[in-house]
Amino acid sequence: SASKTPKPTLAGVRGRIRKRNIVHAFDPDQFRAVLTDILARTHSNIDEFFREISLKEEQLDFYRYSTQFFDLLLMGGTGAGEGKLQQGASPLQTSFFGVGAGPFTDPALRAARSEYIELVRQSLRRKPFLERPLDQIVSNLLEAFVSFPEEMQHQTAMLIAVLLARRVIPAKDLIPLLGNDASINNGAVLRMLTEIFQVIVAESNLETLMKIVTDSGLLNRLVEFMPATRRTPEEFSAHFTQAGLPEFVEQVRRRQSRDQTAQIRATLIGLIKEGTPVEEISARMQSLRREAQLTDSVAMTLVYDAIFLAIDWSSRSQQAAEQAQRQLTQFAELLKPVVTTVQLQSELMIKLQNHCYDDPRCVKSFLPFVRILYDAEVIEEDAIMYWFRTGSALRGRSVFQSQLEPMVKWLETAEEEDDDEDEEEEEEEAPAAKPAAAPAKPAAGK
């Protein structure tokens, strides 16, 4: 209660303040002075650098001055890393920017820059809490680089490229480049990105660049870095080819095509599983095909794969084979618009052969599959005969030729009968006796 007698205190005794509760005035200048002195003496000797750091730990509060640490180590104390470049400031020689903006391929300059990158790596290993401030430094640079002098813009591109190539920073740190529409439209962002990519390839290789682009989620957004008036795949390809990165352009095209075809395949599978009418699925496929500019062969493969990937394969082996045959019967019409030549029909026959060879559930279904597609007028007699005589693949050839032999014999016999009828119709004599009926079509089997 309020009337309770207070506890006695000891007069003249002061309580001790815990060390962690002592508040020091914010003094980045002192931090810079101490660190500058250490860098001047030890920047080329990592062990000595961190020994000096540990000796002056009380004067170097990395939690509080992490931004100043990276700005001094990399940008030479110009304030660029803090997003506020000091007017007329020149980077200290004992920093990444202080090395100069000479050619990245120059061995001496490359070795000098590597010293500071290694200091950053070791600092992150010893003090993991510095990772977030470094990410912020990179973000600041990418947002403010357009206000830097030209030489410092080149240094910024080199710095970010090396940090990315050596996996010091994550690939997602490139994303802030897309945040400034004005800089994109005037081409500044494209110039920065191009130089970053060129340095990554020189520092590492094309595979590293492709991994960075993929991991950052920018693979399908690269065209967004182009100015609005040039934002087309053709302009993108022309620009980076001219910049000396034609292999990168080709790799991007292949990866984007692969991602696009996977998305189309997933769309088709979903429509088939939902029971969408075949006519609607076919119309949607033709629309997607035009948008993606798919070749006939790729379109055929996508439709074929979607038909069978949409099957629920939980049935037993024999039932699964019957299920696959029913599925193909139901959706064979989807293949008609994408299998329009004998050559494509022959490719489809090989696709069937490889499918039946790879999937034990369908190994006895080759003949039924061919019969289904023949009856649906997806493949013609010429394609079947070509496959049987010379056009089959090696895998399982004898097994599948044996399966198809009865149908081939039936086709040959029916063709002979048709030829006889044509000859008799051309004769001017009296009508001959009615020819014998063609042999019955072979059973598809199960």
DSSP labels, 387-428: IIIII--STTHHHHHHHHHHHHHHHHHHHHHHHHHHHHHH--
Helix axes 246-273, 278-292, angle to 10 degrees: 170
Question: To the nearest 5 percent, what fractions of the chain are helix, strand and coil?
Answer: 70, 0, 30
- Give the span between the Cα atoms of 351 and 261, in whole angstroms: 17
Residue whose structure tokens are 């509080």: 64
pLDDT of res. 14: 59
Which DSSP category does 169 fall into?
S
For residue 167, give the DSSP letter: T
Q: How many CB atoms lie within 10 A of CB 364?
A: 16
- Rounded distance between C-alpha atoms, residue 342 and residue 185, angstroms: 49
Who contacts 304 (Cβ-Cβ below 8 Å, separation ≥6)?
335, 348, 351, 355
In this prediction, residue 325 carries a pLDDT of 92
Could you give the CA distance from residue 89 to residue 430 in angstroms, rounded to a whole number? 109
Mean pLDDT of 149-165: 93
**Tokens 């599948």 appear where?**
400
Q: Which amino acid is at 133?
A: P
**C-alpha distances out from residue 219 to 204, 212, 223, 250, 256, Å:** 19, 9, 9, 13, 7
Angle at 301 between CA 261 and CA 286, to 5 degrees: 65
Q: pLDDT tens for residues 65-93?
A: 999 999 999 999 998 888 788 877 888 88
Torsional class of 85: left (φ above 0), alpha (ψ -120 to 50), beta (otherwise): beta
- Mean pLDDT of the residues in the chain: 86
pLDDT, one tens digit per residue, over 95-110 is: 999 987 777 778 888 8
pLDDT the model gives residue 413: 86
Its sign, for the CA torsion 391, 394, 399, 402, is positive
Residue 327 has pLDDT above 50, yes or no: yes
| Contact (CB, 8 A) for 72 and 35 | yes
pLDDT the model gives residue 443: 56
Band of the pLDDT at 421, cuts 50, 70, 90? Answer: low
Work out the burial of residue 105: count CB atoms within 10 Å of its CB; fewer than 13 is exposed, 13-18 middle, 19 or more buried.
Answer: exposed
Q: Provide mean pLDDT across the span 33-50.
A: 90
